[in-house]
């Protein structure tokens, strides 16, 4: 399969100044030769190329101007620039050709169709990056970082992805894996050559060092995943407490309809804001009433409850100018067990609630006083959201964060196996039992960088990539 020459559109479909069709494989330049005519004339030969053996030859890392033609009819499809990057100096370490044409859907599809008619196969999702991994240009963690770079929604997310692409996590994981492999080699030697006089080594101290290092990486995972994926925050409360107004204020945009009438919001509304580099998906919800009579209102409340279940954190909005009502306690009950922040809104009016009342409304939830109409307290609220999400843990800008849920799960498994190995060593278990746990930890770490990745794992990871990357 991977001996085929593949082609795909590598830019988004839509109107744009340019679009890119990428080709990779042993026949990439031959495909280009069949569809590309150098020069300005429709029937011109190739004045910008040299001739070797009677065929046009494209030099590596040179740019050629010409036209893409249908290989069957010779009809001109589009004007284009062709970039040739011969192996191994390319993204995939295969021969790679990029055709830069006009960025409309029709010319892009026409150029792609011409390459397929000339012998290329349509690429699978992520197949270019998969080939880069299989050919040793990048490891598996770096390949996943490629997708994170594309999907980054904030500068913080992009910074994390670029660190992964540069191999910072891969390098640290390889160091730990090599340390464990050295201890595993010693243990297996004592098993295989039990009759020989093998010098005794301290196994406990190196394993404890690795256990501590893996634990430190794992401790960063929750915050790293938040920085990468963002937070889902549900804005909840009884009707007419200012939920939609709060959404608009946090977005700095009139996204939600706001009226003095209770129950204006009947459905959930989602928009993403940037909170200090973390993408936060804000979900405005219908007000939760104790006894809804309107069938539409009941449907809205059901969706509000689903939004609470899906949220990472809830903003419970209360009207601080009125006493607590039954609906407020109903909302507090609905978000029980979820991380939350209580938002005491309308603080510019006469206050009817005390801090003690609000602090006891939702267990362990901080209280932030706001006046959305005067844009007061919003910065404090953003800080409270982030503090609740990251448990108050400050992270240095150069600190290595684990930001992929797959990596978190693998590190957790590796940590468990290391603990079992240490426990077995301290309990005096046979060496082969300790070696088994150590081998499992080594194999787990190898899943991050790809040394021990299965075909099923690779297929799962790269199937989530876009076609053309």
Question: Which domains does the chain carry?
Answer: 6-123 (3.30.1360.120), 146-220+402-462 (1.20.120.430), 232-390 (3.40.50.300)
Residue 34's pLDDT is: 95
Maximum distance among all Cα pairs of the chain, rounded to whole angstroms = 90
Q: In whole angstroms, how far apart are CA 301 and each of 114, 240, 292, 293, 442?
A: 53, 14, 8, 11, 49
Average pLDDT, stretch 17-36? 95
Q: What would the pLDDT profile of 65-122 be if each residue is shown by its tens digit?
A: 999 999 999 999 999 999 999 999 999 999 999 999 999 999 999 999 999 999 999 9
Rounded Cα–Cα distance for residues 1 and 462 (Å): 15
In this predicted structure, the answer to whether residue 53 has a pLDDT above a threshold of 60 is: no
Rounded Cα–Cα distance for residues 450 and 453 (Å): 5
Residue 313, helix vs strand vs coil: strand
Residue 49's pLDDT is: 40
In this predicted structure, the answer to whether residue 51 has a pLDDT above a threshold of 80 is: no
In this predicted structure, the answer to whether residue 389 has a pLDDT above a threshold of 80 is: no
Residue 50's pLDDT is: 37
Average pLDDT, stretch 380-387? 91
> What pTM, to 2 d.p., does this model score?
0.82
Average pLDDT, stretch 268-290? 83
Would you list the DSSP string of 395-426? --TT------HHHHHHHHHHHHHHHHHHHHHH
Rounded Cα–Cα distance for residues 335 and 285 (Å): 13
Q: What would the pLDDT profile of 390-430 be if each residue is shown by its tens digit?
A: 765 555 556 789 999 999 999 999 999 999 999 998 888 88
Average pLDDT, stretch 437-465? 93
| 122 contacts: CB under 8 Å, gap ≥ 6 | 6, 7, 8, 112, 116, 467
Residue 54's pLDDT is: 36
Average pLDDT, stretch 18-37? 95
In this predicted structure, the answer to whether residue 42 has a pLDDT above a threshold of 70 is: no
The chain-wide mean pLDDT, for the chain, equals 86
């Amino acid at each position: 399969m991977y001996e085929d020459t593949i082609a795909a559109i590598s830019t988004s479909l839509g109107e744009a100044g340019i679009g890119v069709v990428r080709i990779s494989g042993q026949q990439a330049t031959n495909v280009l030769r069949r569809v590309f005519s150098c020069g300005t004339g429709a029937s011109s030969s190739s004045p910008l190329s040299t001739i070797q053996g009677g065929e046009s030859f494209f030099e590596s890392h040179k740019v050629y101007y010409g036209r893409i033609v249908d290989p069957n009819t010779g009809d001109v499809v589009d004007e284009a620039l062709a970039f040739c990057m011969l192996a191994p100096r390319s993204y995939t370490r295969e021969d790679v050709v990029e055709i830069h044409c006009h960025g409309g859907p029709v010319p892009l599809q026409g150029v792609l169709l011409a390459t397929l008619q000339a012998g290329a196969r349509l690429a699978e999702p992520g197949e270019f990056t998969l080939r880069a991994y299989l050919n040793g240009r990048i490891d598996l963690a770096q390949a996943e970082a490629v997708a994170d770079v594309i999907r980054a929604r904030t500068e913080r997310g992009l910074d994390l992805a670029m660190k992964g692409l540069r191999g910072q996590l891969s390098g640290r994981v390889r160091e730990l894996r090599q340390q464990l492999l050295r201890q595993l080699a010693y243990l297996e030697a004592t098993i295989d050559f039990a009759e020989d006089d093998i010098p005794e080594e301290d196994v406990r101290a190196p394993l404890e060092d690795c256990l501590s290092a893996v634990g430190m990486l794992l401790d960063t995972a929750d915050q790293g995943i938040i920085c990468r994926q963002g937070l889902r925050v549900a804005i909840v409360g009884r009707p007419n407490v200012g939920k939609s107004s709060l959404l608009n204020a946090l977005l700095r945009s009139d996204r939600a309809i706001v009226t003095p009438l209770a129950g204006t919001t009947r459905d959930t509304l989602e928009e993403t804001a940037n909170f200090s580099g973390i993408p936060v998906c804000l979900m405005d919800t219908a007000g939760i009433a104790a006894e809804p009579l309107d069938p539409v209102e009941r449907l809205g409340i059901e969706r509000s409850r689903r939004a609470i279940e899906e949220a990472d954190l809830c903003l419970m909005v209360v009207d601080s100018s009125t006493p607590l009502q039954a609906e407020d306690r109903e909302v507090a009950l609905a978000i029980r067990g979820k991380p939350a922040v209580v938002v005491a809104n309308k603080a510019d009016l006469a206050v009817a609630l005390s801090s003690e009342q609000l602090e006891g409304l939702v267990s362990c939830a901080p209280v932030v006083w706001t006046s959305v109409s005067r844009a007061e307290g919003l910065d404090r609220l953003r800080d409270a959201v982030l503090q609740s999400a990251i448990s108050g843990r400050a992270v240095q800008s150069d600190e290595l964060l684990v930001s992929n849920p797959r990596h978190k799960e693998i590190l957790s498994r590796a940590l468990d196996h290391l603990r079992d190995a240490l426990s077995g060593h301290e309990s005096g278990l046979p060496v082969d039992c300790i070696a088994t746990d150590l081998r499992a930890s080594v194999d787990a770490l190898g899943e991050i960088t790809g040394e021990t990745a299965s075909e099923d794992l690779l297929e799962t990871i790269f199937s989530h990539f876009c076609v053309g990357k």
